[in-house]
Structure 1
Amino acid sequence: MAFDSLSDKLQNIFKNLRGRGRLTEADVKAALKEVKLALLEADVNFKVVKQFIKAVEERAIGLDVMQSLTPGQMVIKIVNEEMVTLMGSETTEIALKPGNEITVILMAGLQGAGKTTTTAKLAGKFKTKGKKPLLVACDIYRPAAIEQLQINGDKQGVPVFSMGTNIKPVDIAKASIEHAKSNNYNVVILDTAGRLHVDEDMMAELQEIKEAVHVDQTIFVVDSMTGQDAVNVASTFNEKISIDGVILTKLDGDTRGGAALSIRAVTGKPILYVGMGEKLTDLEQFYPERMASRILGMGDILSLIEKAESQMDADKAIEMEKRLKKAEFDFTDYLEYMSQIKNMGGMGSIMSMLPGLGMGNQMKNVAIPDNADDSLKRTEAIILSMSFKERSKPELLNPSRKNRIARGAGVDISEVNKVVKQFEQMKKMMKQMPGMMSGGKKGKFKLPF
């Protein structure tokens, strides 16, 4: 997951600080030297790192900190605050015109950054906010780009305006505005062509569109896995066509996080959203303070609650909690629970939002793995191979019954034993956490652990 390496290193550095009763100036400087190395290894822009460390050091060596009863915690607090400042301090929304006025958004970026998929994800976000978005296929060069946009548009329930591959992108853009006016669409999102690298033809085409059509927001989509290169490309786009904000994709992958920590400081433009998976729902609003907490191993409980509220079935969760209180929680409930966890992006996504200590580590023993389609199917096959009585009363599962279930599911008996053990661990842990599955009202969730 994103930031794992950086987060681990920073947590180890701060663990040493927490253990000190008093800090000397040398202690702080030694710790910040390690922080500097960790940031550089995470591919954060070296100028940004230099400014960041300087800002932290000036505050951390101040009299108030050094004389504090918990100076280590004060230093961590300062690092957290400066990291939030680095990424923009405030959450920035995409500015939309009021009512039925048309907002035109131009999506730009290099090929392979996930721009077309992100464009569809964004349309879905606007739709849930009550807007009427129209996707516009302006990429006439990449094979299947129009078809990809249409497929994703259909999944989101958002129409796609296309004129094929023989019309100039600027003419498609102009025609789409007229189409939007005639059909009462109030957000027009132009999916423009990308290239493998920045070139003059690309920039000229984008400039031509912006001259012919009044574009309200120009959003740059960039692959966060490209690290500092992402920041350099964003700077070039900003110089050439003036961008208003950035969407970072693939932040759920094995990225070192350098782009997220550098891009605002270098370009002066805010990060608007981050892509956290391949599903069309995996686009999260970017909150600098929440991201800083995740990087520093403090978790991101608010985002986790929001994800639970949007992805989990409230009625089912409330019913499940009632059954758990009555000691009626069985294998059917367990299967339903895992399905809802999978809908939230899997345990990897959830674990990344939990604080570094406490319940998160306990969950590792019972968690289904990331990308757990195969694991979930196997578990489902095992549970469905049980009789109704066995699903309802797990205590009936003796070796003979487990052998029969294994044969029915086409798995080894060790797999059946593993599922039974995970079920028992999950049930035991959930009993220790009263009120964890719902807040008692539909749509109001506490953490699902």
Structure 2
Amino acid sequence: MNTLSPQPGDMPDHALQSAYRKTAWRVIPLLIVCYLVAYLDRVNVGFAKLQMLDDLKFSDAVYGLGAGVFFVGYLMFEIPSNIALHRFGARRWIARIMMTWGLLSAAMMFIETPMSFYVLRFLIGVAEAGFFPGIIFYLTTWFPSHRRGVMISLFIAALPISSMLGSLISGLIMQSLDGVAGYAGWQWLFVIEGLPAVALGAAVFFLLRDRIADAPWLSPEEKRGMQAALDREAMDKPRNSVRDGLLNPKIWLLGAVYFCLVLGQYVISFWMPTIIRNSGVAEPWAIGVLTAIPYSVATLSMVLVGRSSDRHREYRWHLGVCAFIGAGGVVFGTLFGDSLLLSMIGLTIGTAAMISSLPVFWGMPTAVVGGAAAAAGIALINSLGNVAGFFSTIVVGWLTQLTGNTQAAMYFMAGALVIGGLLGLSVSRPRNPQLADMKTVA
């Protein structure tokens, strides 16, 4: 039994458990659906590429720059956006983020030139800036560290689920709606997958609450108990200024780890449909089904890795081993790229291991700093990840055009994962016993 968990006042533990359970059911499902749509809107350009490049006469380099320029806008506005969320409240700010990015993503159906592609992708990045780190910070205002890892893992589980469902949906849309009303399948893809974000933005505005004190589903006793848990934990955590969050060396080291992990993640997200097509699969629906397989396995592996990390209360080796296996899977899939079966085995192992490292990673920075410093620090880490997203798409596009295939890019990604795993192993063990006890997956 964990005797180091905060015990607020004399409130019975079963009553506090009930309060957290009610809050999780009220908040987490909506956030998962929002992340499903957010990630789908971010990476559906990888599926649109299968038709869009031929229709618009774009090169791989044009696509790589357009896919990557999203991260420039995201990077420029991420930290200001997260600070604004801290100031104005998550409910209003997340709703604003979702509505604007949904409308801009739908507008992608009208692109005709490389410049219009670049401008819209940049604006989508500006609109979405702060969403993911904002949610991570938002969870810190409801759950103490020893419960927060569970919530983060459930939220991040939306990533492989989104990729899995998105692959199936995107392939179906592009194949079945191509030519309907005079629009190409890739155009229908953007509008059908973009507009749900607008409706979800409205749902966030009306259903989320900014503070425990504002939660109508909690009794006064439950509100006091949950707030006391956060207040007690805050006594052991520095609550400094934005500047402190941005200059913390631990934040920068974690940012470097995340840079390497995200570099691999986005190479897979943006280029897997192309890799599968190059293995001999032509139909968009079949490509969608095959693309969904690695993400289906990743959904399960996240739970298994998280439970192992939870049971052993260890994160460095879990993250490092996942990164190393991810690199090995990518190399294997690349070496045997001419065989669809062997390529899929490698891509499945690599993708599952790579994605399984993410909930373990996000259990690490959320207890380093608090308050405005936490909002800025978490945003900084995610910003460095988005630098990787931009860098990866540019490099992969350039290498693919230079060599005529994706092999060099895949080896490059595998090397980045190895470096990320080594950096993860270099992260010092937490001295805060609450961080040491923090669970990372349900």
Interval of TM-score (by shorter of Structure 1 and Structure 2)? under 0.3
- Normalising by structure 1, report the TM-score: 0.23
Larger % of helix: which?
A: 2
- Normalising by structure 2, report the TM-score: 0.23
Which structure has more RCO (C-alpha within 8 Å, separation ≥ 6)? 2
- Larger-Rg structure: 1
